[in-house]
Structure 1
Amino acid sequence: SLQVRHILCEKHGRAMEAMEKLKSGQRFSEVAAQYSEDKARQGGDLGWMSRGSMVGPFQEAAFALPVSSMDKPVYTDPPVKTKFGYHIIMVEGRK
């Protein structure tokens, strides 16, 4: 399973704006709080998720990412499109 964090935007343009913020060095959690439409968890943290608990494209992208930290995040670029919108995903742990 993976410890996943994401930023979800319904509109592609908004996801690209969030991506620009990340590239300029803003913390992933701050960008998530500001841009993500999934307010369920602060800072985009989805906690530990197992294979089969995520929608297809999200799961494929998440499992393909290396584990990274908020200090040096590695995230999906371009954002991943699902039925929910556009996700910028990062993985903070794997077990």
Structure 2
Amino acid sequence: MPAKKGGADKPQKGAQHIQLRHILTEKHSKAAEALEKIKNGEKFEKVAMEYSQDKARAGGLLGLKKKTDLVEPISSIAFDLPINQPSEIVKSEFGYHILLVEARK
């Protein structure tokens, strides 16, 4: 049987769980500032502590999550994200999020 091609940075179809971090803000402008800092090389965890209104003390760590643990559109977007690549800003009923998947299992 040939080995599967692809790297760890690509979404793993069929992954049951993801190790997820997020930044949650009430205002789109704050989420945009946070995303800009991440894109300019600041660590996600540091930016989460500065900007996130949820789980800020844990650097935005939500932990290991199943698809059913998350609301839409967070669930669909998170499970399609490449590992260690921040999402664009995602709006949910809770506010504006930036997502980061650290691992898939």
Give the TM-score, by structure 2 length. 0.81
- Counterpart CA distance in 2 for 1:41 and 1:21 is 18
The structural deviation recorded for 1:39 is 3.0
Stretches of structure 2 that go unaligned for 5 or more consecutive residues are 1-16
| Number of equivalences | 89
Q: Which runs of 4+ in 1 moved over 4 A?
A: none
Q: Distance in 1 between matches of 2:21 and 2:57?
A: 9
5+ residue gaps, structure 1, are 69-73
Mapping of residues 8-19 of structure 1, within 5 Å: 8-19=24-35
TM-score by length of 1: 0.89
| Residue 76 of structure 1: aligned partner | 87
* TM-superposed deviation, 1:41: 4.9
The whole-number CA distance in structure 1 between the counterparts of 2:56 and 2:38 is 21
Seen in structure 2, the aligned counterparts of structure 1 residues 26 and 63 have a Cα distance that, compared at 3 Å, is same
Q: 2: CA distance between counterparts of 1:51 and 1:41?
A: 24
CA RMSD of aligned residues (A): 1.1
Q: Which amino acid counterpart does residue 33 of structure 2 have in structure 1?
A: E
Bigger Rg, which one = 2
Deviations 1:47-79 (A, max 9, x none): 0000111001000110010122xxxxx1111x0
User: One-letter code of the match for 1:18?
Assistant: A
